[in-house]
Amino acid sequence: MKIEDVNALDSDAFISLFGNIVENCSLIAAAIWSSRPFSDVDDIQNQLNKFIDLLPRNGKEGILRNHPDLAGRLAAAGQLTRESTQEQKAAGLDTLTAEEKEKLNKLNTEYKAKFGFPFVICARENKKDAILKGLEHRVQNDLETETLTGVEEVKKICRLRLLDIMENHPGAKL
Amino acid sequence: MKIEDVNALDSDAFISLFGNIVENCSLIAAAIWSSRPFSDVDDIQNQLNKFIDLLPRNGKEGILRNHPDLAGRLAAAGQLTRESTQEQKAAGLDTLTAEEKEKLNKLNTEYKAKFGFPFVICARENKKDAILKGLEHRVQNDLETETLTGVEEVKKICRLRLLDIMENHPGAKL
């Protein structure tokens, strides 16, 4: 899909295609549609980053809260979004040993109790060992640092989802 | 449901219950969870209004874009959210004559082409005649006025959805 094809989408088609590049936050895709025409993928990403950065802290926390727990309840029930299912699988989170799963759940619970949002990490850029280490490290951060760290991970996830869509959707088929 | 029951909800339960008080914008409910404990329903509404008011203009436009057309394609296909289905019915939009439907569709199309988002009005506070008149009037506004007018309607819709939830969900059943 070329950038001209993206720029030709009406808002409904744009939201339908890009609505989940930030997990469960279609408002963000709906907002940046205002910035068309985009010059390239970087421009789309920059508009998204700008929107996220301008949100007050509770908005950034809200973005993180709209993410699922890693290897959590929704994954076990098969209720993750399509994108999250693929990402968690790519990180090997569907092949955790019982011991790893217990450790991850314990740390996830501790993390969520401390910060009020789930641990978010770009699973496609980290295998399960790195994720467990990252969680052990990041749970020690303070709230402000961790909100910003989580949001930077969201931007990385967003980038990969954006590239997937551009690669896999021929404009002609839209 | 009492305010104490709301304040006792974890973020997942809160988002699940209040995620659609702003149509298809669960990010907003996810964000204001940070402001617990709420003192009462007005406090929830005030936090929502504050979040919406602080959004840059593209964010406000994004909220409007996440709303369906009145008596539009989604309504015809039975694909509206539960809340929108009830609201559009309450306004009598499911009993439009062929002539009224044609007029509404023509004005909706004109409105959306001009502003880049659909016409949003609190359908439960307006019957179909008032909606048609409102649309004829508001399509003449400029973009900035109409973005703010639409957002004020969103707040009214939100208020009624909020009251519905508080009335219809006994805390004990959550």
- Average pLDDT, consecutive stretches of 10 residues, N- to C-terminus, chain A (174 residues): 95 96 97 97 97 97 94 82 88 89 93 96 90 95 97 97 90 49
- What pLDDT was estimated at residue B94? 86
- The single-letter DSSP state of residue B72 is S
User: CA neighbours within 13 Å on the CB side: how many for B131?
Assistant: 29
Q: Looking at chain A, which residue has its C-alpha nearest residue B63? A: A27
- Over residues B137-165, the pLDDT tens digits come to 999 999 999 999 999 999 999 999 999 99
User: CA neighbours within 13 Å on the CB side: how many for A28?
Assistant: 29
B67 catalytic? Reply is: yes
Residue with tokens 């016409």: B119
Q: One-letter amino acid identity for A140?
A: Q
- Tokens describing residue B97: 């004559």
Q: What is the pTM of this model?
A: 0.92
Probe site for chain B from A21, A65, A81, A111 (most B CB atoms < 10 A)? A65
Mapping DSSP to helix (H, G, I), strand (E, B) and coil, where does residue B70 land? coil
CB neighbour list of residue B91: distance below 8 Å, 6 or more residues apart: B123, B124, B126, B127, B128, B131
- Cβ–Cβ under 8 Å, residues A70 and A88: yes
Give me the interface pTM, i.e. the ipTM.
0.91
User: How far, in Å, CA of A43 to CA of A36, rounded?
Assistant: 10
Domains of chain A: 3-62 (no CATH), 67-162 (1.10.3330.10)
- Taking the CA of residue B164 and the nearest CA in chain A, the distance in Å comes to 23
Probe site for chain B from A9, A12, A158 (most B CB atoms < 10 A)? A12
